[in-house]
Structure 1
Amino acid sequence: MDHDKVNILLVDDQPAKLLAYEVILKDLGENLVIAASGREALEVLLKTEIAVILVDVCMPELDGFELAAMIREHPRFQKTAMIFISAIQVSDIDRLRGYEMGAVDYVPVPVVPEVLRAKIKVFAELYRKTRELERLNHELEDRVRARTAELESSTAKLRESEQRRSMAIAAGKMGSWDWDWISGDWMWDEGQYRIFGVGPESFEVNPANVQGLLHPDDVDQLRKAIAEFNKGTRAYETEFRIVRPDGEVRWCVGTAAATVDESGRVVRVSGVTVDITERKRAEERQNLLAREVDHRAKNALALAQSIVRLTRADEVKAYVNAVEGRINALARVHTILSLSSWQGAELSRLIDEELAPYSLGDQIRLAGPEVQLLPATAQTLALALHELFTNSAKYGALSTRSGRLAIDWQVENELLTLSWAESGGPLVMTPKSRGFGTRSLLASIESQLGGQAQFDWRAEGLLCRLEVPLTRKTATTALGKFDTAGSAELQRASG
């Protein structure tokens, strides 16, 4: 295997059934852990990291429902996937009870080996991907901490150098100043003028003018420093903001030292000012990146979980193919967005990525301007296009060499209109009911993006028209729906 094995816990009080499950799941190549009772299963969980739990509903002493409730009470196992096996007909109430206890699926007896293997494989892979995302997130956090430590070390060294006026004068983003405490005269060097964005020919250095360049929220820092020196403080350091005449706000760190006479009275204050705006911005970017990675990881898992739970098929192979196809579509748009640092994706690029697996040559015609989609809109539209391409390749124009597909789009008043026109393929009949792909497409376009999806089942080929708002307010709402309500709209679509 080219990946680390995960642990799958099999819980049943009958040895023969445990042996059967081992035989069925052996080909998955994962570690199979056996427990002959609910209590034994709890002992295993406390000692071993488990990816999926396969548990019999009917067991003496501690049945499957009671075991699931105990497992969910432990913080470590609140997200562990549990699949119930039941040899009796489960009522809707019992099924609902199982889902409330945290079950992700039911498997009836007699067990169909292919179905059981497929279900276990999906959740094992989901567990593996989740752990990989967590590992990457930890690595990113480690890098951020290391970078922060580097910045702190760099700042400490910088503060030491700030005490030397000669280095302050020579440094490009440093300035030095001198204030005669008795006469009130100020002296600024070239670096000090540059930091504040003023020139010696037009700016008179005095307390009132200097205060006028300080950020209103940081004026008290100057007053506090003066008060500290009047009380006998010999050195003072603080961070503050300035507002240049052109309106630009800059962050600075100032270090000042007092010179006193024989009586201990302050006669002069000298200091160094360092522009630390770039450091502040770097820290903000790092914090934003850490939050963004965490958000994207959770969103990707929510989308993948929705696809796994809501996909329907009559046989295992079709189910696996459908799940893999939708997750691959999600992965492709994720790659595009990652390359753009999650700034957005071009519509033509999304279409090209969905076309790539088919190699259809001149069967497809594309026409439309460059359109930059926001991340939320790109993810949703990519899944919708995947459903259209998959349906066409199976039943429509792309299922035969004589078929043709024309995709046209245009933007007007922040509304994207995309036309999908098939021709030359098999004779099209209006479906008596909408399949899951069509219903999920409608749900994603209409409910998540606030758009419209229209289907015209012409005899010569399907005609589909998608209208998608491109305004930021509408598009950015889509990801939030997945984060807060999971796949509620798709759930209704699949009902």
Structure 2
Amino acid sequence: MDHEKVNILLVDDQPAKLLAYEVILKELGENLVVASSGREALEVLLKNEIAVILVDVCMPELDGFELAAMIREHPRFQKTAMIFISAIQVSDIDRLRGYEMGAVDYVPVPVVPEVLRAKIKVFAELYRKTRELERLNQELEDRVRARTAELENSTAKLRESEQRRSMAIAAGKMGSWDWDWISGDWMWDEGQYRIFGVGPESFEVNPANVQALLHPDDVDQLRKAIAEFNKGTRAYETEFRIVRPDSEVRWCVGTAAATVDDSGRVVRVSGVTVDITERKRAEERQNLLAREVDHRAKNALALAQSIVRLTRADEVKAYVSAVEGRINALARVHTILSLSSWQGAELSRLIDEELAPYSLGGQIVLAGPKVQLLPATAQTLALALHELFTNSAKYGALSTRSGRLTIGWQVEDQLLTLSWEESGGPLVMTPKSRGFGTRSLLASVESQLGGQAQFDWRAEGLLCRLEVPLTRKTATTTPGKFDAPGSAELQRASG
């Protein structure tokens, strides 16, 4: 009987033995594949489907036991039959080790051709039968799938309609009901019970109980609907609220249609209820967001207006540069706050953004713990840091390669203390009058944040100390509710 040939892998490091195995097994009529080492055998396995592996136990580099262990680790070959050939006396321990590695049998040397052929034939036939069963099973599954597809196609419309209804009910967003206008009997489906937050085992559907679940301000909607149907209206739709037994308020939209008899009298009203609470909440969030965006835009414009109005310079170019620098500082902190959904900004991130334009490797040292600043505090402190960096780049430590700047900060009892220490720059002299940068820094930190700013104009470099409370009322205002810092205060400081 013709049958599909299977691959038999022969593994031995001695060519003479491989040739002998080929001669012995040639009568089986299968495909014989040879490998002279364990590594070569692994390459053959990865490229071919192998039914049986005949492997010598004693081989250099990779012996039969090691090869078997590697073969069994691969998902494709966990059930591949392996027969060990051993030219030495095999102990029970060696046999046990071989079986643990995945061997299905042992063949001693000298090999008895009839015995070897019989063993190989058994496992080759087993492999062939297994593959045949897999093919038959696949064909059966294909036929089952085809038949199932035919059945599904024949009922597609009905199933699709029921699926949509089931999904709506399962999500708790839709329910249907029926009201016998003559007898007063009600019928609710599962979705209707779920929307109202009650169960059929404990809730009796009747006008009084249904009315008790309506929001007091929306009870008139039910009375109005009944009145409309009594007047001859055939369809009615309205939005209303319900109050579940757990006190949760839900928004719903109800649509109802009347069925009349031959005389035009209403005999039945059927309807659908849809839970639209999430939509209502989304609309509220959208309205709130629009108001917050408007408020924040006004704050940003107020800050920009203050910067433009209060900046002083001897020439237009210097004026434009100063304004642009301060507005860019405001834009950078605005980006940081936006990424956090206006929940706040981390102090080190704020400092990194401000020192980014000054890529002076090794000149600036930062030291301090993680500190999360609220939006109002972050905005004001960002502008203060910008003034310090700008002044240092123009006149202080950052204006020369030999200059050094150390920024350190710590928090104790909700008080942020930040120290700014310059050294190695040009000789520093105490200014005769304070410029806009210094005045705005003092005004914003002290007036807006309720903190303190101290300047020590040492000859070797400026030493500045900022103390900012992190829990002051003005610094803990909710996002979108803080005022633009510095408008009135900066006006006073510039006077």
Provide the rounded CA distance (Å) in 2 between the counterparts of 1:403 and 1:114.
93
CA deviation profile, 1:340-388 (whole Å, cap 9, x unmatched): 3444333222111101011122332323343333333322221111001
CA deviation profile, 1:267-310 (whole Å, cap 9, x unmatched): 33221111222322333333334334443433333322321221
Q: Is the contact made by 2:175 and 2:189 (CA closer than 8 Å) also made in structure 1?
A: yes
392-401 or 91-100, which deviates more? 91-100
Q: Give the superposition deviation at 1:98.
A: 104
The answer for the alignment partner of 2:254 in structure 1 is 254
Check 1:174–1:59 CA distance in 2 against 1; reply closer, same or farther (3 A cut): same
Provide the rounded CA distance (Å) in 2 between the counterparts of 1:310 and 1:223.
64
Q: Is the contact made by 1:215 and 1:243 (CA closer than 8 Å) also made in structure 2?
A: yes
Q: Is the contact made by 1:457 and 1:463 (CA closer than 8 Å) also made in structure 2?
A: yes
Check 1:308–1:28 CA distance in 2 against 1; reply closer, same or farther (3 A cut): farther
262-271 or 69-78, which deviates more? 69-78
Provide the rounded CA distance (Å) in 1 between the counterparts of 2:126 and 2:434.
29
The answer for the alignment partner of 1:96 in structure 2 is 96
Check 1:260–1:481 CA distance in 2 against 1; reply closer, same or farther (3 A cut): closer
The answer for the alignment partner of 1:402 in structure 2 is 402
Check 1:188–1:82 CA distance in 2 against 1; reply closer, same or farther (3 A cut): closer
379-388 or 419-428, which deviates more? 419-428
Q: Is the contact made by 2:296 and 2:480 (CA closer than 8 Å) also made in structure 1?
A: no
327-336 or 465-474, which deviates more? 465-474
Q: Give the superposition deviation at 1:412.
A: 4.8
SS in 1 for 2:25: helix
Q: Give the superposition deviation at 1:322.
A: 1.4
Check 1:391–1:20 CA distance in 2 against 1; reply closer, same or farther (3 A cut): farther
Q: Is the contact made by 2:196 and 2:213 (CA closer than 8 Å) also made in structure 1?
A: yes
SS in 1 for 2:362: helix
Q: Give the superposition deviation at 1:23.
A: 106
Q: Is the contact made by 2:196 and 2:244 (CA closer than 8 Å) also made in structure 1?
A: yes
Provide the rounded CA distance (Å) in 2 between the counterparts of 1:493 and 1:20.
104
Check 1:405–1:249 CA distance in 2 against 1; reply closer, same or farther (3 A cut): farther
313-322 or 419-428, which deviates more? 419-428
SS in 1 for 2:34: strand
Q: Is the contact made by 1:364 and 1:405 (CA closer than 8 Å) also made in structure 2?
A: yes
Check 1:246–1:484 CA distance in 2 against 1; reply closer, same or farther (3 A cut): same
Check 1:296–1:430 CA distance in 2 against 1; reply closer, same or farther (3 A cut): same
Q: Give the superposition deviation at 1:89.
A: 122
Q: Give the superposition deviation at 1:192.
A: 1.6
Q: Is the contact made by 1:423 and 1:462 (CA closer than 8 Å) also made in structure 2?
A: yes
SS in 2 for 1:427: coil
Check 1:7–1:375 CA distance in 2 against 1; reply closer, same or farther (3 A cut): farther
Check 1:135–1:60 CA distance in 2 against 1; reply closer, same or farther (3 A cut): same
Check 1:260–1:228 CA distance in 2 against 1; reply closer, same or farther (3 A cut): same
CA deviation profile, 1:89-141 (whole Å, cap 9, x unmatched): 99999999999999999999999999999999999999999999999999999
331-340 or 160-169, which deviates more? 160-169
The answer for the alignment partner of 1:39 in structure 2 is 39
Provide the rounded CA distance (Å) in 1 between the counterparts of 2:129 and 2:329.
16
Check 1:114–1:415 CA distance in 2 against 1; reply closer, same or farther (3 A cut): farther
Provide the rounded CA distance (Å) in 1 between the counterparts of 2:491 and 2:129.
23
Q: Give the superposition deviation at 1:461.
A: 3.4
Provide the rounded CA distance (Å) in 2 between the counterparts of 1:309 and 1:118.
102
Check 1:242–1:357 CA distance in 2 against 1; reply closer, same or farther (3 A cut): same
Check 1:315–1:198 CA distance in 2 against 1; reply closer, same or farther (3 A cut): same
Q: Give the superposition deviation at 1:86.
A: 114
- The two structures have a TM-score, normalised by structure 1, of 0.59
Aligned residues: 495
Provide the rounded CA distance (Å) in 2 between the counterparts of 1:333 and 1:84.
73
Q: Give the superposition deviation at 1:219.
A: 2.8
The answer for the alignment partner of 1:342 in structure 2 is 342
Q: Is the contact made by 1:163 and 1:272 (CA closer than 8 Å) also made in structure 2?
A: no
Provide the rounded CA distance (Å) in 1 between the counterparts of 2:64 and 2:261.
84
Q: Is the contact made by 2:387 and 2:437 (CA closer than 8 Å) also made in structure 1?
A: yes
Q: Give the superposition deviation at 1:490.
A: 1.1
CA deviation profile, 1:292-331 (whole Å, cap 9, x unmatched): 4443433333322321221112333322221221121122
SS in 2 for 1:284: helix
Q: Give the superposition deviation at 1:14.
A: 113
CA deviation profile, 1:169-195 (whole Å, cap 9, x unmatched): 698621111223343332221222222
SS in 2 for 1:488: helix
The answer as to 2:111 corresponding to 1:111 is yes
**Identical residues among aligned pairs (%):** 95
136-145 or 283-292, which deviates more? 136-145
Q: Is the contact made by 2:12 and 2:18 (CA closer than 8 Å) also made in structure 1?
A: yes
Q: Give the superposition deviation at 1:215.
A: 2.8
Check 1:184–1:328 CA distance in 2 against 1; reply closer, same or farther (3 A cut): same
The answer for the alignment partner of 1:441 in structure 2 is 441
Q: Give the superposition deviation at 1:472.
A: 8.2
Q: Give the superposition deviation at 1:440.
A: 0.5
SS in 2 for 1:479: coil
Q: Give the superposition deviation at 1:447.
A: 1.9
Provide the rounded CA distance (Å) in 1 between the counterparts of 2:12 and 2:97.
20
Q: Give the superposition deviation at 1:221.
A: 2.2
The answer for the alignment partner of 1:310 in structure 2 is 310
Check 1:479–1:197 CA distance in 2 against 1; reply closer, same or farther (3 A cut): closer
The answer as to 2:311 corresponding to 1:333 is no
SS in 2 for 1:361: coil
Q: Is the contact made by 2:295 and 2:480 (CA closer than 8 Å) also made in structure 1?
A: no
Check 1:461–1:133 CA distance in 2 against 1; reply closer, same or farther (3 A cut): farther
Provide the rounded CA distance (Å) in 1 between the counterparts of 2:106 and 2:302.
21
Bigger CA radius of gyration? 2
113-122 or 363-372, which deviates more? 113-122
Provide the rounded CA distance (Å) in 1 between the counterparts of 2:491 and 2:87.
28
365-374 or 76-85, which deviates more? 76-85
CA deviation profile, 1:125-173 (whole Å, cap 9, x unmatched): 9999999999999999999999999999999999999999999769862
Q: Give the superposition deviation at 1:49.
A: 81
Q: Give the superposition deviation at 1:487.
A: 2.4
107-116 or 391-400, which deviates more? 107-116
Q: Is the contact made by 1:162 and 1:272 (CA closer than 8 Å) also made in structure 2?
A: no
Q: CA RMSD in A?
A: 27.3
357-366 or 141-150, which deviates more? 141-150
Q: Is the contact made by 1:10 and 1:34 (CA closer than 8 Å) also made in structure 2?
A: yes
Q: Is the contact made by 1:230 and 1:266 (CA closer than 8 Å) also made in structure 2?
A: yes
Q: Unmatched 5+ residue regions in structure 2?
A: none
Check 1:183–1:295 CA distance in 2 against 1; reply closer, same or farther (3 A cut): same
Check 1:49–1:166 CA distance in 2 against 1; reply closer, same or farther (3 A cut): closer
Check 1:161–1:216 CA distance in 2 against 1; reply closer, same or farther (3 A cut): farther
Provide the rounded CA distance (Å) in 2 between the counterparts of 1:312 and 1:28.
102
Provide the rounded CA distance (Å) in 1 between the counterparts of 2:145 and 2:200.
42
